[in-house]
Amino acid sequence: MVTVWPRRLALVVAPVHGESFASWVDRMALRNACPPWAMVEALGLDVATSSDVRSLAYGVVAMPETCRAIEAATGVSSEVVRGMHLEVFDGSVLDLAGVRVGDKESVRRAEGREWVQFFGSRVCPTCLVASGGVWLAWWKLGWAAVCPTHRTLLVDLCPRCRVSVRRGPAGQPARLSRSRMPAPLRCGALLSGVVCDQPIPQISTGVVSDKLADQQQLVLAVATRRRSALIAGQVVSASQWFAVLKATALLIRLGVPEVLPLLDTTLDGQGALAAEAGGQRWNRAGSVGRFGMAPRTALVAAGLLAVALEVAAAESESELVARLMPLAAAGRMQWKQRRPDLLTLVALPSVFTAALDAVLGGQARRQ
Ligand SMILES: [Zn+2]
Ligand SMILES: [Zn+2]
């Protein structure tokens, strides 16, 4: 096959550290005065075959030849291009194994399983305005709850249209527009064909505790492998660390409402957790199922994060057991005899399964 490199573009916007690929393409499109579809084509992505963002695994994974084509077109190195994709979190906070460009179903499967919004995002309005419209890749993570810099809750719902900012039509990811210019500082959600133009910098959000901001910082440091991951004083892999966080989140959700007074979270956070679990009561006694789904809102994420990081911060095995005990006790009141299998979904480190066995009476793992 003959490789046809895209033409070198004259106007290039430098990517900002941590910026998402979609954000960079939008800013490139604005600089080049063309809609995103044309921009993506000029960068060398195969939009002629399919411009469906799922099929392109847009912003999720990038093929090496695509990165090289973008480098040829823009001078931005392949490594930096790859670094704007969610695959930088693969093997730590995300498992993107099996996700392939051109295989829409593989993208859909991972979307349902992983704690991430492939095509949506939360946002810190203050960061967004300070950067002139740069959207950070980590805002897409299910564990994205607060801005560690501004110590505020991230925004997910738009106060004007009441749906998630940047959401496409009816829950589908927005297509790459052939006609509309991107507006990085606006909500951009699509409702009945109308784009919501709420200015994001005008959306107000709540202040969070310094402790929660530090916990978010730690999550990001482990996700990007800048910090080693510890559970009960033992070094574990980043993916095992996040598995512990997820399993703890499951335990918390299963224990609603009994668990709520035990949580070191705001009343708002408790309410959000109760509302989320309430909507899924039908599934409580069955398999873990939807209790393993990504937190719906930043507020729910904040509540789960605060407690899960308390558990992860235990410095010894006995301390870990002591921190899990009240959560397990609350959960037990809800699930009664039909105990859900906590350990089927995630690869937990043995120090954590041992602690779970201790608090759940040696039956945490289904034989
Ligand atoms: Zn911020
Ligand atoms: Zn809106």
Listed residues: CB within 5 A of ion ligand 1: 124, 126-127, 147, 149-150
Cα 164 to averaged position of ligand 2 atoms, centre (Å)? 7
**What phi and psi, each to the nearest 5 degrees, are found at residue 19?**
-70, 145
pLDDT at 282: 43
Cα 169 to averaged position of ligand 2 atoms, centre (Å)? 12
Cα 140 to averaged position of ligand 2 atoms, centre (Å)? 17
pLDDT at 363: 53
Nearest ligand to residue 187 Cα: 2
- DSSP annotation of 283 reads G
Half-sphere exposure of 91 (CA within 13 A, CB side): 5
Coil, helix or strand at residue 331? helix
pLDDT at 216: 98
pLDDT at 190: 85
Cα 207 to averaged position of ligand 2 atoms, centre (Å)? 22
pLDDT at 164: 86
Cα 219 to averaged position of ligand 2 atoms, centre (Å)? 28
Rounded CA gap, 185 and 187, in Å? 7
Whether the CB-CB separation of 164 and 142 falls below 8 Å is answered with: no
User: DSSP letters of 36-85?
Assistant: HHHHHHHHT--TTT---HHHHTTTT---HHHHHHHHHHH---HHHHHHTS
Q: Which of 235, 359, 249 is nearest to 310 (CA)?
A: 249
pLDDT at 285: 39
Does the predicted TM-score (pTM) go above 0.85?
Answer: yes
Type of residue numbered 105: E
Low-confidence spans in the chain with pLDDT less than 50: 281-288, 366-367
pLDDT at 274: 81
